[in-house]
């Protein structure tokens, strides 16, 4: 499937592609298999049952042959035209390119707002709905420092961290995108309608894969999280309890091989338990400033100087005996993965990970892409 062959789908082909997404039990992976075999969505609906069964199995093949809800597709197309909503698809030139690289990317994506920013530098900022003053203050400082790099900020328009990320992004002149679990023209929660309109006015957009004919389901918000994680190059978790949607988004981002960052907090704070756990278990990089993000993502300097500024190592750190052994190991071996260090030093991985975290806090080592560590300086 090459997008250059399908950037302008004929109306009938788009109609049938949308219809495929309404087939019970046929997900995006199944649609992809059918298109790879038949070439076009229209051909799928005209294929014999036997051939469909060979590709998708008997149950899905029968569901395709018995499908009668074409009126839902007609209604959705008319509604999108009335509401000024664009219908994006895998082959559309404006479909977010990072989203194409995840296995469960939505076949159809609805968008309200301007084009031209879906393929640029994009960062997801997520977190608890019960944001604390600590989280609010961090977002304000972070967005202020981030504006010189001009990324697009992506979040879910929900209470707490999400809406604060949108607000602070706009306050600092950054374009922001909201991904909804509801249809794009039905903002939820409704109290954030003003922010939704403002972000559209300021060049942002609203995305969703939810149809108007779908009944409200809490799972839509979990489904939405994969779009947030999939369309961005990195996900930042600002605050989270040990369980929550933000951690689900982080897990999805990790499964897509995207960078995940977490803001550390006090061990006694409920809404830092999730972020601290992500850092402790090495599922996320610790984020204390914009510099951490810029270094790990290798963003060039906004002044045009693409060279990284060297990080000054603390020349007289207070290291215990085990930390000095780690330091000697890295001095000899160079950048190393914690698992390899644990094997060669005959220590538990948990011990090595904890030592590395403490040494990073002391300014002796720094984390690299691929979960490796090296001495600073």
Q: List Cβ neighbours of 220 (8 Å cut-off, separation of 6 or more).
A: 181, 182, 210, 214
pLDDT attached to residue 363: 77
Judge whether 206 and 181 are in contact, CB under 8 Å: no
Judge whether 118 and 36 are in contact, CB under 8 Å: no
Give the whole-angstrom CA distance, residue 85 versus residue 351.
52
Instruction: Tell me what the mean pLDDT of segment 265-283 comes to.
Output: 92
Judge whether 156 and 178 are in contact, CB under 8 Å: yes
Instruction: Tell me what the mean pLDDT of segment 98-123 comes to.
Output: 85
For residue 86, what are the β-bridge partners? 111
Judge whether 88 and 95 are in contact, CB under 8 Å: yes
Domain range 321-375, CATH class: mainly alpha
Give the whole-angstrom CA distance, residue 275 versus residue 258.
17
Q: pLDDT digits over 8-45, tens only?
A: 689 999 999 999 999 999 999 999 999 999 999 999 99
Rg (CA), the chain: 23
Report the percent of the chain where pLDDT is more than 90.
Answer: 64
pLDDT attached to residue 220: 87
Give the whole-angstrom CA distance, residue 118 versus residue 177.
9
pLDDT attached to residue 342: 87
pLDDT attached to residue 369: 72
Question: Does the structure show a pLDDT above 60 at 49?
Answer: yes
Q: pLDDT digits over 231-255, tens only?
A: 999 999 999 999 888 999 999 999 9
Give the whole-angstrom CA distance, residue 276 versus residue 238.
10
pLDDT attached to residue 316: 44
pLDDT band at 6; cut points 50, 70, 90: very low
Question: Does the structure show a pLDDT above 60 at 310?
Answer: no
pLDDT attached to residue 115: 60
Residue whose token pair is 């979960």: 371
CATH number of 3-108: 3.40.50.450
Q: pLDDT digits over 130-188, tens only?
A: 999 999 999 999 999 999 999 999 999 999 999 999 999 999 999 999 999 999 999 98
Question: Does the structure show a pLDDT above 50 at 123?
Answer: yes
State the first-to-last Cα distance of the chain, in angstroms, to the nearest integer: 47
178 — phi, psi (to 5°)?
-110, 135
pLDDT attached to residue 141: 95
Fold of 122-297: Rossmann fold (3.40.50)
Give the whole-angstrom CA distance, residue 97 versus residue 323.
43
Nearest-CA neighbor of 210 among 198, 199, 221? Answer: 221
Q: Please work out, in degrees rounded to the nearest 5, the angle formed at the alpha carbon of residue 139 by the alpha carbons of 374 and 363.
A: 20
pLDDT attached to residue 4: 37
Range(s) within the chain of domains with CATH label 3.40.50.450 = 3-108, 122-297
pLDDT band at 2; cut points 50, 70, 90: very low
Q: List Cβ neighbours of 309 (8 Å cut-off, separation of 6 or more).
A: none
pLDDT attached to residue 276: 94
Range(s) within the chain of domains with CATH label 1.10.10.10 = 321-375
Q: List Cβ neighbours of 256 (8 Å cut-off, separation of 6 or more).
A: 101, 102, 229, 230
Which segment of 85-94, 105-114, 133-142, 300-309 scores lowest on mean pLDDT? 300-309
Mean pLDDT computed over every residue of the chain:
89
The whole model's pTM is what? 0.78
């Amino acid at each position: 499937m090459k997008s250059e062959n399908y950037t302008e789908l004929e109306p009938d082909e788009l109609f049938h592609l949308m219809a495929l997404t309404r087939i019970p039990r046929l997900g995006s992976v199944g649609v992809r298999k059918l298109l790879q075999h038949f070439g076009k969505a229209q051909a799928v609906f005209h294929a014999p049952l036997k051939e469909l069964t060979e590709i998708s199995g008997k149950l899905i093949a029968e569901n395709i042959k018995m499908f009668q809800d074409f009126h839902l597709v007609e209604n959705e197309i008319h509604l999108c035209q009335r509401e000024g909503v664009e219908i994006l698809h895998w082959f559309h030139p404006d479909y977010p390119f990072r989203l194409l690289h995840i296995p469960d990317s939505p076949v159809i994506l609805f968008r309200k707002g301007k084009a031209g920013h879906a393929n640029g530098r994009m960062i997801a900022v997520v977190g608890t709905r019960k944001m604390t003053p600590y989280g609010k203050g961090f977002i304000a400082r972070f967005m202020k420092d981030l504006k010189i790099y001009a990324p697009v900020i992506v979040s879910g328009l929900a209470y707490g961290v999400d809406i604060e990320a949108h607000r602070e992004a706009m306050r600092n002149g950054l374009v922001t995108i909201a991904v909804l679990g509801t249809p794009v023209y039905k903002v939820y929660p409704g109290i954030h309608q003003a922010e939704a309109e403002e972000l559209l006015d300021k060049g942002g957009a609203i995305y969703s894969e939810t149809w108007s004919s779908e009944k409200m389901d809490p799972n839509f918000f979990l489904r939405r999280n994969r779009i947030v994680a999939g369309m961005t190059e990195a996900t930042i978790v600002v605050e989270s309890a040990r369980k929550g949607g933000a951690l689900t988004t982080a897990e999805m981002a990790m499964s897509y091989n995207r960078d995940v960052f977490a803001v550390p907090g006090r061990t006694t704070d409920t809404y830092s338990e999730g972020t601290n756990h992500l850092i402790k278990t090495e599922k996320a990089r610790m984020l204390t400033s914009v510099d951490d993000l810029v270094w790990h993502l290798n963003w060039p300097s906004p002044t045009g100087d693409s060279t990284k500024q060297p990080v000054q190592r603390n020349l007289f750190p207070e290291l215990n005996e085990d930390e000095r052994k780690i330091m000697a190991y890295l001095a000899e071996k160079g950048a190393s993965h914690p698992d390899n260090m644990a094997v060669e030093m005959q220590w538990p991985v948990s011990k090595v990970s904890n030592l590395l975290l403490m040494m990073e806090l002391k300014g002796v080592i720094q984390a690299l892409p691929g979960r490796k560590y090296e001495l600073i300086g």
